[in-house]
Structure 1
Amino acid sequence: MQTSQKILIVRLSAIGDVVHSLPVLHALKTAFPCCQVGWAVEDRAADILINNPLVDKVHVLPKSRWKKRGYSLKNLAEFWGVVTEIRKEKYDIAIDLQELFKSGLVSFLSGAKRRIAHRGAREFADIFANEKLPAHDNFDPEKLIIRRYLEPAEYLGAKADEIVFSLPPSSEETVKKVDFMLSSLVYGKEIAVFAPATIWPSKHWKEEYWAELLNRLSDRYNVVFIGTEKDNALINRITSLAGNANYFNFAGKTTILELIELFNRTKFVVAPDTGPAHIANATQKPAVIMIFGSTGVRRTPPIGEKHSGLSAELLCQPCFRRICPRKDAFMECMENVTPDMVLDCAE
């Protein structure tokens, strides 16, 4: 590959998966310092890439707006507008890291002469590629997913010995906003962040366990809950179970950039396998303690020696199902990871 070529990465979603794809930037920029890298991404994860020092151009697909509208010609027109923007960049290579039909289509429409994906990709996405890497099991529980994302970079000639994340630096405005939010915390206590909510019910840790953990940590730490506005119902149930324990609720009050700055000031983060946990891991500042149920502890663990991935290691794990097929009891895989196990990692 010529060192000055332009490369488009197509990884549209989700937040955690975009974070897992970030080491590709370091691999490409280290091997080919003069290359220019663009990234096509949906709006929910765009802040991870905008102003990222290793990304030269970000092409944002406003999926949230499209979803609110439903099917409409205006959505199609906006989609084609993003495609036109991408085509104007005249990319030489498009790498489809997501390998779904939608990402393959964006790769194909980019106009790049070389389009790279794995053979046998999901949803027949490899039909859009003209350079195909050997087939693989995307849900191999023993293979680190980041290694799979690095394979196209290695194919192009980059070395992928290191896993290095790149995030945008905090602006002065972001620092001031987080300063203001943290001004209500107890001075002198370190921060412990809880991120209890996920989209998959099969990733949910027991609410009683979250409450017990809150009770056992709130005297020594400023315990901060994070999430979206709709996660407040879950957080309210947890804090009600905890009784009079002290806590701070930032759910629905932080952007991705503000979360990055918050994590830079945090002692440790407790979360299931979800986007905020992977953002925290990418900062390499707090210790990240991740609780695994339906997903694989060796496939998407936090990276680094000070981090921990906790799993019950049952025979049915990982099942990669959004909803546990067991109807008679709470998920055993999550029930068998106890607050004591989390505390051992935190302290």
Structure 2
Amino acid sequence: MDEYPPCFLSGLCFLVSLMVKIQEREFNNILIIKPSAAGDIICALPILAGLRRRYPGARISWMVAKHLQDLLMGHPMIDEVIPFDRKRFGYLGLSWVVTRRFLKFLKSLRSAKYDLVVDLQGLFRSGFFSWASGAKVRIGPGEKREMGWIFYTHRMPARDRNTHIVDRIGAVGELLKIDFSEPEFPIYIHEDARRRVGELLAEQNVEADEFVAIAPGGTWSSKRWAVENFAELAGKIVTELGRRVVLIGGRGEMKLADVIVEKNAGKGVVNFTGLTTLPELLAVIEKAGAVVCNDSGPMHMAAAMGKCVTAIIGPTNAKRTGPYRKEEGVVKTGLACSPCYKKICSKVEKEGTAACLAAVDVEEVFENLRRQMGEK
């Protein structure tokens, strides 16, 4: 150790002492910040489970985007769900009413007197909220994105770029002495949602565990496999596997679902797209025998529930954001341009299928699904 200057050694000792101090602390009022997206919230559930396990008597709150709050409402591990209306606060500074409500929101964060904030979003806005809370300990991702890190007192240890997001944010365990080596996904599904989905399936004479759910949507156009391919796949599932197909997704995917239904008229394809709430979407996936999807929220939901998942991955990195610990369910091509992380593929027209997804054929996806379901 003689070759290191005294200032380096003293600095190192100080950092180690800080880590030891928070490992030994018993936090009583914890705020998790993870507003979106749906799949990312699912991937963050192991952090909730770990914090509840480590601090069983603590009050735990979760800040989430208003349109996604139903994913967490009523969760037995969460004491308070704090909805954040990003759209409304987008008028901050332009509207006195909105500005006043935003200041009131900040005041409510401050008055809650959190002693620990864990920011899993890692952006400037979420980092700012962690600071605005007044918590003495504020932990965030180690990656330097949007300067969010300037608001943290502690940063999670960095991980390799190809590390899955579940394991990357699980690095918070090193700071708090929580073991995340075997992540637990405590998905909560309301009994009312289960009942409603049971009724929907019964109306269509669809039996639980005997159908394949198809989610044709995706937040980026570059993430969406061609709808005509999904339509052909649905037909093969019905005719060759003898399974019913249930289409799932939000209102934004209704047009895609209509195309699939139209091309499979009378062939055992049921359309629930746009008919279910978020809790009901979880309930449909829970009852499915398998799920076929793009890189999307339903993919993470299905993987977290341990379902058979066939995920068609194009512009994103399956190692980082694919179905967690279900590499066998990933279908992708080896195009050199993938992953590119572009929301619109520059090689095709605006709404065209990305080149990396266009190279994935229906038979390849079907065989992956058949293999995972153990069908011959």
1:289 to 310, 313, 338: 310
Q: Say if 1:9 and 1:97, in contact at 8 Å, map to a contact too.
A: yes
1:326 to 347, 355, 358: 347
1:260 to 269, 273, 282: 282
Query: What is the deviation of 1:4?
Result: 4.1
Query: What is the deviation of 1:67?
Result: 6.1
**Identity of aligned pairs, percent?**
30
Query: What is the deviation of 1:144?
Result: 0.7
1:209 match: 229
Deviates more, 1:83-92 or 1:267-276: 83-92
Query: What is the deviation of 1:259?
Result: 1.1
Query: What is the deviation of 1:69?
Result: 11
Q: Secondary structure at the match of 1:264?
A: helix
Q: Deviations over 1:162-205 (max 9, x none)?
A: 1111122322x223321221122235581211110112011010
Q: Secondary structure at the match of 2:228?
A: helix
2:117 to 69, 82, 94: 94
Deviates more, 1:175-184 or 1:28-37: 28-37
Q: Count the aligned residue pairs.
A: 342
Unaligned runs of 5+ in 2: 1-21, 371-376
Q: Show the 5 A alignment for 1:1-347.
A: 1=22, 2-64=25-87, 71-119=94-142, 121-134=144-157, 140=161, 142-171=162-191, 173-188=192-207, 190-219=210-239, 220-242=242-264, 244-284=266-306, 286-304=307-325, 308-327=329-348, 330-347=353-370
Query: What is the deviation of 1:78?
Result: 2.9
Deviates more, 1:311-320 or 1:125-134: 125-134
Query: What is the deviation of 1:118?
Result: 3.5
Deviates more, 1:105-114 or 1:218-227: 218-227
Please report the TM-score for the alignment, with normalisation by the length of structure 1.
Answer: 0.90
Please report the TM-score for the alignment, with normalisation by the length of structure 2.
Answer: 0.83
| 1:281/1:78 CA distance change after superposition, 3 Å | farther
Q: Say if 1:226 and 1:250, in contact at 8 Å, map to a contact too.
A: yes
Query: What is the deviation of 1:243?
Result: 5.4
More helix by share: 2
Deviates more, 1:207-216 or 1:45-54: 45-54
| 1:229/1:126 CA distance change after superposition, 3 Å | same
Structure index of larger Rg? 2
| 1:136/1:159 CA distance change after superposition, 3 Å | closer
AA of the residue aligned to 2:235: N
Q: Say if 2:224 and 2:353, in contact at 8 Å, map to a contact too.
A: no
Q: Say if 2:31 and 2:118, in contact at 8 Å, map to a contact too.
A: yes
Unaligned runs of 5+ in 1: none
AA of the residue aligned to 1:14: A
AA of the residue aligned to 1:82: F
Query: What is the deviation of 1:207?
Result: 1.9
Q: Give the CA RMSD over aligned residues.
A: 2.5
Q: Secondary structure at the match of 2:188?
A: coil
